[in-house]
Structure 1
Amino acid sequence: MTDLGSAIDVGHLFAPERQALLELLGGLNKHEWGQDTPCPGWSVHDLAVHLVHDDLRRLSGQRDRHPGAWLAATSLDELAEALDEANRHWVTAVAPTLSPRLTCDMLAWLAGPSETHLVGLDPAAEGATVSWAGPGPHPNWLDVAREFTERWVHHQQVRQAVGRPGLAEREHLEPVVDTFTRALPSSLPRRPDGTEVQLRVVSPFERSWTLRASGPGWTFVARSTQPAAVVSLPASALWRRAVRMLSHREARGVAGVDGDLELVEAMLDIRAAIVPSDAPS
């Protein structure tokens, strides 16, 4: 199994995130519900309907073991294509028939069952494979943390669409960034044992993650000696790059980089969402 570092606890963040989302959506007017979001072709209403779908699929597939809720794929790119098609079908079919008010009602109703399910999972037990983190199965804590990042990112996309920033305090932002760094061990090219790389967040808080080449892969280590490559980014650029809201070139433009160029580029190509790759050829 790929080394994933120490566990991340996000259980206490689900309820306040959903409550903040419902308060935001509840205050929108008709025009704002129709605003375009960073998700191509989707309005705020479409994105909220998608979040309903996310909750339904999670409960049906993982809690209830309903086979129809999961998608089969042999690669991350193939899964991204299949999931994009499934999401598009759902939004196209449901959004025109679901009012904003009922969308909010459903998100409010689903909050309790989905949170109960997620926080009730044994964090250390093997659970669903997190496709962007390398070969699974992976521990439940990573799957639950991934679920929080999904909700938080879509929440931020709604806020961007309507010009109402929020929920970007360190309490919420740091676990998202921390979770996304767990994509690095499966993303970095092989190097001789002992080679180190370091990814640094420089604002609005400071934190670094060091990985060391070991055997066929990379492991997280507490301290760095002399990293062969260093990438420094604002947290806002790191999370947006990980979900492809920022291009490789845009991330490179705001990053501080040093050392082995191939390792630098691999860190800048971090992908921690089921989205197509856009690494430079």
Structure 2
Amino acid sequence: MSLHPSLQSYADAWTHSIEAISELVTPLVEGEWNRATPCPGWSVRDIVSHVIGLDCEMLGDPRPIHTLPRDLYHVQNDHQRYMEMQVDVRRHHTAPEMTSELEYTIIRRSRQLRNESREPGAMVRGPLGTEETLEFAMRKRAFDVWVHEQDLRVAVGRPGNLDSPGAYVTRDMLLAVLPKVVAKDASAPANSAVVFDVHGPVEFLRTVRVDADGRGTIDGAPSLGPAATLSLDWETYVKLACGRVTPDAVYDRIKTEGDLDLAQAILHSLSTTP
């Protein structure tokens, strides 16, 4: 048996992004691994450590036994502490150690994916002792690796791959949470609609509709009288939704129409990554 067809797009997206990450960081000299990235609190080395660590967990490797320092300002909750463990344990690794472990992890994970025979609904280990389906875990890995590829591209000044396979997985992951963002987090009024018009390498027009009970749904049909419309480019949308920038920092790249207070509330609720 081989990888289930419904999982292949996630494997392809992961492969594309992980190979791009390897290409980005392999030429870096030691000092460049300490460059800051848009991901709060993490350097280039930290992001690569995170990517390695989570793929090792997908392989079933045991998590490191390690005590975190108390002065990590960006670590505020259990989820962040969980993620920081794989990062902090590698903070003093050299550039050759990092690239070697990355390449070895890519080889192991690629072999695992080629031989993967489990069904999409098979349960696998998730963060903090949770369980999740294999399909969700692979979709989340493709999303995570693409977002971190973009973090690294910003850090090393090599933009690109904004429309690669991982970008479309990311689009779908971010769209899935938009109804909650609009209806619950931003408290859009009942019986209203909000339109998102995103342009650039990845384009989409989506309408989030809030029903009489305050529940949100999303579709691709335009709304004739939306409460608010938000127009922005794909890169800005990703950076907002992944908490890489604040709305105030990119306000000149966003066009809002209709209820401006609601639009502001949505923009400030858009960041949904832990």
Task: Mark yes or no: TM-score above 0.5.
Answer: yes
Say if 2:220 is the partner of 1:222.
yes
Note the residue ranges of structure 1 that are not aligned, 5 or more in a row: 1-7, 70-78, 132-136, 275-281
- RMSD of aligned alpha carbons: 3.6
What's 2:170 paired with?
A: 176
1:235 CA displacement = 0.5
1:169 & 1:119 partners in 2: Cα distance? 29
Retained in 2: the 8 A contact 1:196–1:213? yes
Aligned to 1:278: none
Secondary structure of residue in 1 paired with 2:230:
strand
What is the identity, as a one-letter code, of the residue corresponding to 2:15?
A
Residues 114-153 of structure 1 deviation map (CA, whole Å, 9 limit, x = unaligned): 645989552xx4978x99xxxxx98765554332221111
Q: Which residue of 1 aligns with 2:109?
A: 111
Change (3 A) 1:41 1:84: same
SS for the counterpart of 1:199 is strand
Q: Give the superposition deviation at 1:225.
A: 2.9
Deviations 1:85-105 (A, max 9, x none): 233333222332461232223
Query: Are 2:199 and 1:202 equivalent residues in the alignment?
Result: yes
Give the SS at the match of 2:13.
Answer: helix
Code of the aligned partner of 1:156:
Q
In 2, the alpha carbon distance for the partners of 1:117 and 1:265 equals 47
Q: Kindly, what percent of the aligned residue pairs are identical?
A: 22
Secondary structure of 2:210's aligned partner = strand
Instruction: Give CA deviations for 1:257-276 in whole Å, capped at 9, x if unaligned.
Output: 111234312431212311xx
Letter in 1 for 2:205: S
CA distance in 1, matches of 2:196, 2:134: 25
Structure 1 position 201, deviation (Å): 0.6
Native 8 Å contact 2:163 2:202 kept in 1: no
> Structure 1 residues 217-226 or 238-247, which shifts more?
217-226
CA distance in 2, matches of 1:143, 1:223: 30
Look up the match of 2:4: none
Deviations 1:39-73 (A, max 9, x none): 3443322221111111123343xxx9x8999xxxx
Please say if residues 14 and 141 of structure 2, whose CA atoms lie closer than 8 Å, have aligned partners that are also in contact.
Answer: no
CA distance in 1, matches of 2:154, 2:18: 17
The 2-side partners of 1:182 and 1:175 are apart by: 11
Equivalent residue for 2:145, pick from 122, 137, 151: 151
Calculate the TM-score normalised by the size of structure 2: 0.74
Answer whether contact 1:52 1:106 (CA < 8 A) is retained.
no
2:87 to 86, 91, 95: 91
8 Å Cα contact 2:123/2:134 also seen in 1: yes
The 1-side partners of 2:190 and 2:132 are apart by: 26
Label 1:126 to 1:157 Cα distance change in 2 as closer, same or farther (>3 A). same
Q: 1:112 to 1:159 in 2, by over 3 A?
A: same
TM (norm. structure 1) is: 0.72
- Using the TM superposition, give the Cα deviation of residue 162 of structure 1 relative to its aligned residue in structure 2, in angstroms: 1.5
1:248-259 → structure 2 map (5 Å cutoff) = 248-259=247-258
